[in-house]
Chain A
Amino acid sequence: MKRSQLSFDYHALHLRPARTVLLLVSIAGGILVSSQWRTRIVRVINPVQPYTSLTETRDALTQEQQQLKDQLETINAGIEKRTSDLKLTNRLDQGIVEQSDAALELAGLTDVQGKGITVTLDDSPDGLIKDQAIAHAADLRDMVSVLRGVGAEAISINGERIVSTTAIDCIVNTILVNETRLSNPFVVQAIGNPEQLEKVLNDPRILQDLHDRVINEGVKLKVEQNGLISISAYKGVLPGVYSKVAL
């Protein structure tokens, strides 16, 4: 009897630390439950609703933007067709027509083709969201600047023609070009001397920060020469609200 009593006391002592652990775990559980309770928002019945509403509005506006750009392209094609027809009938002053054609071409308002390069820029495929491992709007701005510096005659990013008023901007992780949201991979096309354009972008001394991130962070950068590239005309808004031709 004595032996049994001793044995039981021993096991009871053995279980005591475990019960303490159980108590602590239960307290932790209580804290989690109360924390969860406190996370609930008192004033907003459905906190997801405004978020959903905003994203839906953004998607609808993006869709509308695309439709408006399509309409602009259609109407521009119509204008080109009518101008072309009028040229054939010789009803318009040929000087005016030729000047107009040349001006549109140099401003980036016509579709163009020619030799050049295609650059593909993308986030690191490692899956880690690090600031240094993703493609930034600043990378695209620098790239456009360098390409212009070696004589690129026409440049586009994911089909958006770069003109003098183009802004390449970002809102956190969203990149906007000509106020159009673009998603990666970013495909930059440039018409010009393919060898020079390729050489300058592959030179690690130029766009040094980007090249460092390609090596150290896995940012993807691929430059290819192309025999024939097609770049579409700029489809956005033209200046004229504030600026007038100075006489």
Chain B
Amino acid sequence: MNDFLTKKILFQWEIWLTCLILGIVFVWQINSRGVILNAQNPESQEVIAIEVARLTNANADLRRELADLSQQEFSLARAITDKSQAEESLQTKQEQADVLSGAVSVSGPGIRLVIQDDLNVPQLVDIVNALNNIGAEAIAINGKRSNNRFSFWRTDIKPPYSIEAIGSPAALSSALNRKGGILDQIEVNAGALDLTLTEHDKIVLPAVNVPGFVYARTVERTQK
């Protein structure tokens, strides 16, 4: 009987020890898989790589802008002796602002995307957003400039949609056409679209009347 008890106790220890080891191994397995998978997860690394690429490009653009503005400030500093250069500098900035606001007609290389199908507002918003994302400098839809006051909401824009964008034709075209791009995403959800996408050396977008502010007023930066 004593022999049996000894064996039973020994067996219980065996069970206890095995469970302990198993528990440790199990936790170790879970933890180390988590760490390695997080580091090795292609999506996670790919996402950060995309962010790095975009930040690199964005910072390069910002440096270019900074150089342009430095030149403009230099011109203004010399305005006391060189009035015309200062005025020219102001006009250059004004032209950029007018292009941005849509107050002037603009021309340049770009693409024209014509879609015959009826699209909903979020789909149209997403297409314009995608074009902006690729670096379009000016966009018009059915001849109406998309500016910071433009909205598809409560507008009478109807199919066929002719969406024109000024920017790098190759970049705009390939980004729109690529698998997983905005057109592909829309087609996955809504079925094949009847569309044509063409690149152009020069397209001309019309100006739009930009209404003045009623509620907002400009404040000097120093007043903040």
Interface residues of A (CB under 8 A from B): 4, 7-8, 11, 15, 18-19, 22, 25-26, 28-29, 32-33, 35-36, 39-41, 44, 47-48, 50-52, 54-55, 57-58, 61-62, 64-65, 68-69, 71-73, 75-84, 86, 89, 91-93, 96-97, 99-101, 103-116, 138, 141-142, 145-146, 148-149, 151, 153-155, 162-169, 171-172, 174, 176, 179-181, 191-193, 230-231, 233, 236-246
A residues near B167, Cβ cutoff 8 Å? 242-243
Q: Across the A-B interface, give the 6 residue pairs with the lowest CB-CB distance, nearest first.
A: A149-B153, A239-B137, A179-B58, A167-B133, A149-B151, A148-B151
Supposing A75-B69, A242-B137, A243-B108 touch, asked if A97 and B90 sit within 8 A by C-beta, the answer is yes
Q: How many whole Å from A54's CB to the nearest CB in chain B?
A: 4
A156 to B213, CA, bound (A): 16
A residues near B101, Cβ cutoff 8 Å? 103, 106-108, 164
B residues near A149, Cβ cutoff 8 Å? 151-155
B residues near A142, Cβ cutoff 8 Å? 121-122, 125
B residues near A41, Cβ cutoff 8 Å? 36, 40
**Chain B interface secondary structure, helix, strand, loop or mixed?**
helix
B residues near A241, Cβ cutoff 8 Å? 137
Decide if B96 touches A240 in the complex (CB within 8 Å).
yes
What residue in chain B is nearest A233 (Cβ atoms)?
A: B221
Q: Does B43 contact A (CB under 8 A)?
A: yes
Count residues of chain B with CB under 8 A from any CB of chain A: 117
In-complex Cβ contact of B83 among A80, A91, A114 (8 A) = A91
Q: Does B158 contact A (CB under 8 A)?
A: no
